Amino acid sequence: MKMRQLGTGGLTVSSLGLGAMNLSFGTGKAVDESVGIDVLRAAFDRGITFFDTAQAYGPYTNEMLVGKALQPVRKDVVIATKFGFKLENGATVGTDSRPETIRAVAEASLKSLRTDYIDLFYQHRVDPNIPIEEVVGTLKELIQEGKVRHYGLSEVGAANIRRAHAVHPVAAVQNQYSIWTREPEAEVLPVCEELGIGFVPWGPLGTGFLTGAIDANTRFDSNTDLRASFPRFTPEAIQANMPVVDMLRTIAARKGATPVQIALAWLLAQKPWIVPIPGMDKIAYIDDNLKSVDVELDADDLREIEQRMSQIAIQGARLDDGLLSMSDK
């Protein structure tokens, strides 16, 4: 497995990470614990060392699954988790990054993950009620205490990245980014490059759309699948956006690859400090995704992708209004 650096503090991870959320929450029913453990351990056996979870996934259950699966190899993996959502009765009801909450979540996460340190602790969403300097001050204390090794920010804008980095270096920024979700390119990626911050795209496969497995007839269960409320996943938007998948299929056929591998290889080709974390809840998905690390997109391939994407007007917002309102733009 090829490795990459996140930030300037020595955080080394596999070029592709595993987003564990889907094992417990988000895009369908949770898998059985035994299945989840098998998937996570298979990922490690195949060279993945970077695993992403959060308190809010489940909530709580995803951290416990990751902790149980990876406990035997704890010293050989990098585990990222997140704080910052206010949870009531298992539902997200806003943000909460008060210092006392950050500390309480850190302690709970350490227990759930069966570890005595968190490799990478993200603020899941910027809290408009708590200055980012106060948040980072608390994280800096946790780093000094050895409970956290590095910290990151998720769904964050350029201004808050700069403010946070001035207090203590940011190791990684995790925003949604893929071949059809390009907002970070305007300001966030340039700031990360300037300051030496790693970038971890969530949703690198368009929350499933870029796999080619979704079409206008696909329906999402509103009780278990967040995409049921995403404007980009209405039947009309899916149909309008199919040229993106057609483009990926064309490139994939020429390169002897799959659309998934082209979508991930495109991200890996953007910057050497970008580490995608596709959700992988089946071992077959791991095997497919990992081949992207060896797919070489040359300058002509990248120009063709840009030219064809410039002719496609993506339909639908990337998230629903509630989640978009909590993103820092």
Q: Please identify every residue annotated as catalytic.
A: 57
Work out the angle at residue 256's Cα, subtended by the Cα atoms of residues 252 and 257, and round it to the nearest 5 degrees: 50
- Name which of 167, 165, 149, 113 is nearest 10 in CA terms: 149
The single-letter code of the amino acid at 240 is: A
The conformational region for residue 323 under phi > 0 = left, psi -120 to 50 = alpha, else beta, is alpha
* DSSP label at residue 125: S
Work out the angle at residue 117's Cα, subtended by the Cα atoms of residues 201 and 191, and round it to the nearest 5 degrees: 30
What gap in Å lies between CA 118 and CA 82, rounded to an integer? 10
Residues 249, 308 contacting (CB under 8 angstroms)? no
User: Which CA distances in Å does 97 have to 104, 131, 155, 201, 322?
Assistant: 11, 9, 14, 22, 18
Residues 83, 97 contacting (CB under 8 angstroms)? yes
- 92 - beta bridge partners? 87
User: Which CA distances in Å does 17 have to 102, 179, 226?
Assistant: 24, 18, 22
What gap in Å lies between CA 198 and CA 187, rounded to an integer? 14
**What are 97's two structure tokens?**
């990054």
Residues 45, 76 contacting (CB under 8 angstroms)? no
